[in-house]
């Protein structure tokens, strides 16, 4: 079904909103909200109606609901003050009041029957995950410490709300369970979430101990746990530090859990989110075959939803990794297409931190004239979610390569502090190795590179550091062994081909690499 109102056209089948023929960028959830309001324009839609249609019955905060309504109004040139098209009726609900003309054909009619589309549902529907943070238990025996336990949970809710693709239940809903001995699986069902975070606070004479654990609300299994100690006289700093670490650790943990859930419960028909999960599982393998498999999954995700920004950004990122590792021959047209895809994902999801850093990595590696803009995207990503270990690591990489080693190290060290058990720790170690090469501290570079390769032997940048550092330390046999391993990863690798493909802004670093790789036996 296609709906026309004023100078706008909303195409439900293509999931597009156009103004005077030009595409209007909309987040998927905002599109669903607008589509539902237009389809139900003959009546006043209550808050519960919106939750059922757009959030599939999930409880979301009033702030979230208001922000989506405001975004829908903004997209169609309306405002909360004017309410020309979307009118709010106090204590009753919302109604689309504009004059609408419907145009249907057979294919679009089938689409209409399936509406409302793409709700952000619970894990049973294989949608992006939801998590509820329960009030932390005060185990100090001192009722006055309740304020700290409550504040701890609130800080974590705030930190988690910045995570891409994660629905976090509002405090007003999750805190209704305070003081209740309720089964985690029951809470998950009642709040419509797949995961629950709980914890406790215990105070000693001179120390505060905070524990937290993430629980699968379907199986009851523990997915992650940790404890933190701090000074009770500096409670606000401690709350902030714990919340940041919890948010950074939970992001990759939930992704692994969602992938495992998909493997256990294979749906008959995969949707865009399912394909994205499969792509992330293949990306984690970090092999040429895995990257190609991930790209196939992402192509299928975009076939299911052509405006799915996370899949667009992941596809551009995947192509950039293939380019970076030398796993695929990509000509100028291929690279330009990947860069366009990266920028399109940013247009569609300008406030999604993961979309921003994935797009930034692709643009940095595949668009020589746009590298400064890529650095801006990394900065924007960290403004949205300063607790993303991957954003910090990749942004630190770029800063290091640009000669800002101090800033680059600080970013990576923060990522390591936030999540010392991150499964992508090999990437963090790789950045530290590069920084040490730039500082001409080759023994330190070698230590970091070997640490990286202990986790991921296929990581070409770490192998290059091993070759360069061993040449500088007079160990030519070890350097030649590293080059032999590089040639196994990329059989056609040459020094000139490396510099044609990989951005090395620092002239001093480029000369060091060229001389050392030549000495280690890499063809010119």
Q: Which fold has domain 2-120?
A: Arc Repressor Mutant, subunit A (1.10.10)
Q: Would you say residue 447 has pLDDT above 50? A: yes
Q: Taking Cα atoms as reference points, which of 122, 116, 136 lies closest to residue 31?
A: 116
Q: Give the Cα separation of 486 and 470 in Å (integer).
A: 14
Q: Taking Cα atoms as reference points, which of 337, 331, 324, 252 lies closest to residue 288?
A: 324
pLDDT band at 374 (very low <50, low <70, confident <90, very high): very high
Which residues neighbour 353 within 8 Å (Cβ) at sequence distance 6 or greater? 162, 163, 164, 381, 382, 384, 385, 388, 391
Three-state SS at 468: helix
Q: Which residues of 486-514 are buried (b: 16+ CB within 10 A; e: fewer)?
A: bbebbeebebeebeebbbeeeeebeebbb
pLDDT digits (tens, 9 = 90+) for 73-83: 999 999 888 88
Least confident of 252-266, 410-424, 506-520: 252-266
List of long-range contacts for 147-150, beta carbons under 8 Å, 24+ apart: 148/201, 148/203, 148/208, 148/235, 148/239, 149/200, 149/201, 150/175, 150/178
**Residue of higher predicted confidence among 53 and 135:** 135
Task: Decide which of 1.25.40, 3.30.2320, 3.30.460, 1.10.150 is the CATH code for 269-372.
Answer: 1.25.40
Q: Give the Cα separation of 308 and 311 in Å (integer).
A: 6
pLDDT digits (tens, 9 = 90+) for 139-153: 877 776 788 888 889
Q: Give the Cα separation of 311 and 250 in Å (integer).
A: 21
pLDDT digits (tens, 9 = 90+) for 283-312: 988 998 999 999 999 999 999 889 999 999
**Residue of higher predicted confidence among 86 and 57:** 86
Place of tokens 């324009």: 41
- Tell me, what's the pLDDT at 126? 38
By the 8 A CB rule, do 516 and 476 touch? no
> How is the chain split into domains, by residue range?
2-120, 124-263, 269-372, 387-524
Architecture of domain 387-524: Alpha Horseshoe (1.25)
- Tell me, what's the pLDDT at 121? 35
pTM above 0.75, yes or no: no
CATH number of 124-263: 3.40.50.10610
Same fold, 124-263 and 387-524: no
């Amino acid at each position: 079904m296609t709906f026309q109102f004023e100078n706008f056209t909303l195409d439900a089948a293509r999931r597009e909103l156009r103004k005077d023929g030009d595409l209007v960028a909309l987040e998927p959830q905002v599109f669903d909200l607008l589509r539902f309001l237009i389809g139900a324009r003959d009546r006043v839609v209550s808050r519960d109606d919106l939750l059922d249609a757009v959030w599939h019955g999930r409880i979301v905060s009033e702030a979230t609901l208001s922000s989506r309504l405001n975004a829908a109004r903004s997209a169609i040139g309306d405002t909360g003050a004017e309410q020309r098209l979307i009118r709010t009726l106090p204590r009753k609900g919302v109604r689309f009041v504009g004059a609408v003309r419907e145009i249907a054909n057979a294919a679009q009619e089938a689409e209409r029957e399936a509406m409302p589309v793409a709700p952000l549902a619970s894990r049973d529907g294989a949608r992006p995950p939801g998590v509820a943070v329960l009030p932390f238990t005060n185990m100090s025996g001192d009722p006055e410490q309740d304020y700290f336990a409550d504040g701890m949970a609130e800080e974590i809710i705030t930190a988690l709300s910045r995570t891409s693709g994660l629905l976090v239940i509002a405090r007003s809903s999750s805190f209704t369970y305070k003081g209740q001995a309720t089964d985690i699986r029951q809470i998950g069902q009642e709040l419509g979430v797949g995961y629950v975070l709980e914890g406790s606070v215990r105070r000693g004479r001179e120390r505060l101990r905070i524990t937290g654990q993430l629980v699968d609300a379907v199986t009851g299994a523990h997915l992650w746990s940790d404890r933190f100690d701090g000074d009770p006289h500096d409670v606000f700093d401690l709350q902030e530090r714990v919340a940041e670490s919890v948010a950074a650790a939970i992001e990759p943990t939930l992704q692994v859990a969602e992938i495992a859930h998909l493997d256990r419960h294979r749906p008959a028909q995969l949707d865009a989110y399912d394909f994205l999960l499969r792509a992330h599982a293949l990306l984690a393998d970090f092999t040429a075959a895995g990257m190609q498999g991930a790209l196939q999954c992402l192509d299928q995700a975009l076939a299911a939803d052509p405006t799915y920004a996370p899949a667009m950004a992941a596809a551009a990122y995947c192509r950039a990794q293939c380019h970076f590792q030398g796993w695929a021959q990509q000509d100028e047209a291929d690279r330009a297409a990947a860069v366009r895809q990266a920028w399109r994902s940013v247009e569609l999801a300008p406030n999604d931190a993961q979309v921003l850093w994935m797009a930034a990595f692709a643009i940095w590696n595949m668009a020589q004239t746009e590298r400064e803009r890529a650095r801006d995207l990394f900065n924007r990503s960290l403004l949205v979610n300063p607790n993303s270990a991957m954003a910090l690591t990749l942004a630190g990489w770029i800063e290091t390569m640009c000669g800002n080693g101090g800033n680059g190290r600080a970013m990576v060290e923060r990522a390591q502090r936030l999540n010392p058990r991150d499964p992508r720790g090999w990437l963090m170690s790789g950045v530290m190795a590069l920084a040490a090469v730039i500082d001409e501290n080759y023994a330190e570079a070698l230590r970091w590179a070997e640490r990286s390769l202990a986790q991921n032997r296929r990581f070409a940048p770490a192998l290059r550091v091993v070759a360069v550092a061993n040449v500088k330390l007079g160990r030519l046999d070890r350097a030649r062994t590293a080059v032999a391993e590089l040639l196994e990863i990329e059989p056609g690798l040459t020094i000139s081909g490396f510099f044609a493909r990989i951005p090395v802004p620092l002239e001093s670093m480029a000369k060091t690499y060229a001389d050392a790789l030549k000495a280690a036996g890499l063809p010119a």
